Amino acid sequence: MTTIEALRIFTPATVTFLIGIGITPILTHFLYAYKMWKPKAGKVALDGTPAETFNRLHETKEVGTPRFGGIVVWMSVLITATLLSLLGAFYPEAFGQLAFISRNQTWVPLVAFIAGALVGLFDDLFEVQGKRGLRLRVRLLFVASVALLCAWWFYAKLGVTAISIPFDGQLSLGIWFIPCFILVALFVYAGGVIDGIDGLAGGVFSSIFAAYAGIAFFQHQMDIAALCAAVTGGTLAFLWFNIPPARFYLSETGTMGLSLLLTAVAFLTDTLGGGKGVAVLPIIALPLVATVASNILQVLWKKLLKRKLLRIAPLHHHFEALGWPPYKVTMRYWIVGVLCAIIGMSVALV
């Protein structure tokens, strides 16, 4: 690793972290001044019934803690990307190699990131106004639509028709690459409900994007690596203020944007980069996979066997219901997340 290569990774991460730390006091002043939280506590389970266990565990937390924490992540990333691009344009000799906005690597993930963040922002606004917010099917339709556009770009413009399989070459999908991309995006987005305990989502997403920064770096896709490093810095800034007691929640404006960005990055670090970015996604993002799987199993168990598999889904809330303190659940998820990131990186680089 040369000095300039190291700077291309660590500079965006550091700048984004510092900007995130800097803008948070302004954001939180606004959020608390205008009481930007749900006016009424309570959550509905996947089957439409009141989530009694969840409401008992979190009845004092949902009201009084603002949403919109994801703004810290995407705004700090945008400011950093714009700042480094301007510095690179005006001072190319000193800063030219630090700019990471590029048409061939980062335009697609950045557009998906911001599109998801803005739609999530509208959903959060509806929630704090006491409205129902965007229906789940509307949010899923939006995620699928953005994924469709990204998949079309990969397929039609970049000629991607396959995904890599560890130790076994490539799996050719042809036109089926497009629905594969959409399904991955929906699955990752479904894992966003991990944003349910103070500090949990921030720690999990930071380790995931740090892993993909490493994968892209070793593939010499430096702009993608820098973008992932910047997102890592932004999530760590969010996490700084989200450790118990949380100052705000990541909410939809964070999870929707990060989910779409993660999907695009996984495919960019796959066959395009000569790697296995998609195949290792379930390993690196195992906490998200466990979240989705526990929800699916809970619904199936109740429909088929007429009883619950878990006390409450998703899995992290089940551990709370068993009596684990929230901080213990969070820190153990962090440990698992870091280990999965290391293992996933190792497999991706074989």
Q: Which of 28, 64, 324, 340 minimizes the C-alpha distance to 210?
A: 340
pLDDT at 166: 83
Specify the residue for token string 């991990």. 194
- Phi, psi values for residue 97, rounded to 5°: -85, -5
Peptide bond connecting 179 to the previous residue in cis, omega within 30 degrees of 0: no
**What confidence tens digit (pLDDT) does each residue in 3-16 have?**
788 899 999 999 99
Q: CA-CA distance, 85 to 345, in Å (whole number)?
A: 29
Specify the residue for token string 């118990």. 244
Specify the residue for token string 């000193």. 94
Q: CA-CA distance, 12 to 154, in Å (whole number)?
A: 26
Helix or strand (DSSP H, E) at 44: none
Q: CA-CA distance, 29 to 49, in Å (whole number)?
A: 35
pLDDT at 262: 98
Helix or strand (DSSP H, E) at 335: helix 326-348
What is the percent of the chain with per-residue pLDDT over 70, rounded to a whole number? 93
pLDDT at 4: 81
Q: Which residue stretches of the chain have pLDDT < 50? A: none
The angle subtended at Cα 196 by Cα 193 and Cα 198, nearest 5°, is 140
Q: CA-CA distance, 276 to 292, in Å (whole number)?
A: 22
**What confidence tens digit (pLDDT) does each residue in 104-121 have?**
899 999 999 999 999 999
